[in-house]
Amino acid sequence: MPVASPPALEAFLTQELALLERKHWQRACRVLEPTTGPLVQYDGRTYLHFASNDYLSLARDARVIRAAAEALAHYGLGSGASRLMSGTSPLHEQLETRLAQFKQQEAALLFSSGYLTNLGLITSLVGPEDVVVCDHANHASLIDACRLSRARLRVYPHGDVARLQQLLERHATAHRRLIVSDGVFSMDGDVAPLRELVDVARAAEAWLLVDDAHGSFVLGAHGRGSLELCGVEEDVTVQMGTLSKALGGLGGFVVGARVLIQWLLHRARPFIYSTALPPAVVAGALAALTIVEEEPERRQRVLVLAARLREGLRAQGWDTLQSTTHIVPVLIGETATALDVAQALLAGGIYAPAVRPPTVPEGTARLRLSVTALHTDAHVDQCLTVLHDLRARMR
């Protein structure tokens, strides 16, 4: 039997890309150039940036830059190897100690990104005999990590604790059961029902893992994150966070019991087989963490600004979902409409791309606005004015 030869790679990919474009799923990286404050230049024009995760505006803080520059001059650009081979500088250890202290946990372990942290963490905790139960809105890195672990993956509707409980009961005979949730949901801006998750986990003797990429350094009286906000810091089995959002750098970390960190050091493949973070990045994160500790008014400002934005949007009739944090979604629905809205925002001087499937479920395309410490009331009001005019035109 003659076997049909596959189409040439380029022809195949061209066809597949055309399909994505027809669904309005096409993506492109836009080249942004920072100017001052929350302003960016894009394609020759200046825009107010409402899409950054640099919530505390620390990425370009002069103290952070100075610390990173000094480490760069001293240690050079790269770490030269994985942490276990020769890639651990005194700075890596210092940052781990400081993160553990800050989060009031026994120990911490750094990874080269938040994505890699989740891959390493989950694949080290569960395997084929086990069951992982995830919130439907969990970040893609958590889902990918669960798949890679080869544990059985079960998903409950966003925030549906009763359904979670059912799933745990149904899998009561599994070897181990792990509940996995974002602390702050990255595209919805709501906080997970952590108190209830803790209770359900305890009753079912399951472990609870919280990804606090967005809550860390912003939420809670001391900025320790969504666990502090919900009063469950003692009750969650393991939490991760990143250096790439509120700390303005790059990298991820796990904090928890000392034995957990020891275990990850032996088991987490992204830790073992990937080059350590550059010392300059680690030094920058250390300086950023100091600022977080010394300037609580930064995170307070961000939350006050976010509330102003959210309340303004709700008064105009926009659906901001269950957001209570510095992430403020504006639900649009249809993907093509969301693209039009984002385009209209651009025309009004606001940079905030549309978030579309597969990042969010079909039919829930949205804007995802985020405020930062360098935004002012006037910036927020400018964004509100543009959206107000847009809403009037859409009616």
Catalytic residues, which ones?
186, 214, 245
Residue 285 Cβ vs ligand PLP, minimum distance, rounded to whole Å: 12
Q: Which of 78, 140, 112 is nearest to 269 (CA)?
A: 112
Torsion angle of alpha carbons 77, 78, 79, 85, nearest 10°? -150
Grouping H, G, I as helix, E, B as strand and the rest as coil, residue 240 is: strand
Contact predicate 327/370, CB 8 Å = yes
Could you tell me the smallest distance in angstroms from the CB atom of residue 112 to ligand PLP?
9
Q: 204 or 352: whose CB is closer to ligand PLP? A: 352
Please give the sequence-ordered ranges of beta strands (E in DSSP) within the chain, or none if there are none. 32-34, 39-42, 45-49, 107-111, 131-135, 152-156, 177-182, 207-211, 238-242, 252-256, 327-333, 350-351, 354-355, 365-370
Which ranges in 53-160 belong to alpha helices (H)?
A: 62-75, 90-103, 114-125, 140-149
Q: Count Cα atoms within 13 angstroms, Cβ side, for 319.
A: 8
C-alpha–C-alpha distance, residues 221 and 241, integer Å: 17
**247 vs 229: CA distance, rounded Å:** 19
Looking at the Cβ atoms of 327 and 346, the one nearer to ligand PLP is: 327
Residue least distant from ligand PLP (Cβ): 114
Q: Which of residues 334-353 bind ligand PLP (CB under 6 A)?
A: none
Beta carbon nearer to ligand PLP, 92 or 214: 214
Rounded Cα–Cα distance for residues 75 and 144 (Å) = 34
Regarding 182 and contact with ligand PLP (CB under 6 A), the answer is: yes
- Residue 214 sits in the site that holds ligand PLP (CB under 6 A): yes
The C-alpha atoms of residue 39 and residue 366 are separated, in whole angstroms, by: 22
Binding window for ligand PLP (CB under 6 A); candidates: 10-18, 211-219, 342-350, 354-362: 211-219
x-or-dash pattern for ligand PLP, window 247-266, by CB under 6 A?
-----x--------------
Q: List strands edge to edge, sheet with 32-34.
A: 32-34, 39-42, 45-49, 350-351
CB of 141 to ligand PLP, least distance (A): 4
Closest CB 49 distance from ligand PLP, rounded Å: 17
Site for ligand PLP in 108-167 (CB under 6 A): 113-115, 118, 139, 141
- Contacts (CB under 6 A) with ligand PLP, residues 38-97: none
Among 58, 213, 227, 277, binds ligand PLP (CB under 6 A): 213
CB nearer ligand PLP, residue 139 or residue 171: 139
For the bound state, the minimum distance from the C-beta of residue 117 to ligand PLP, rounded and expressed in Å, comes to 7
CB 251 → ligand PLP: shortest distance, Å? 7
Does the protein bind ligand PLP through residue 242 (CB under 6 A)? yes
Nearer to ligand PLP, 186 or 274 (CB): 186
Measured between its terminal Cα atoms, the distance across the chain in Å is: 61
Residue 19 CA to residue 39 CA, distance in Å, equals 35
Q: Which residues bind ligand PLP (CB under 6 A)?
A: 113-115, 118, 139, 141, 182, 186, 211, 213-214, 242, 244, 252
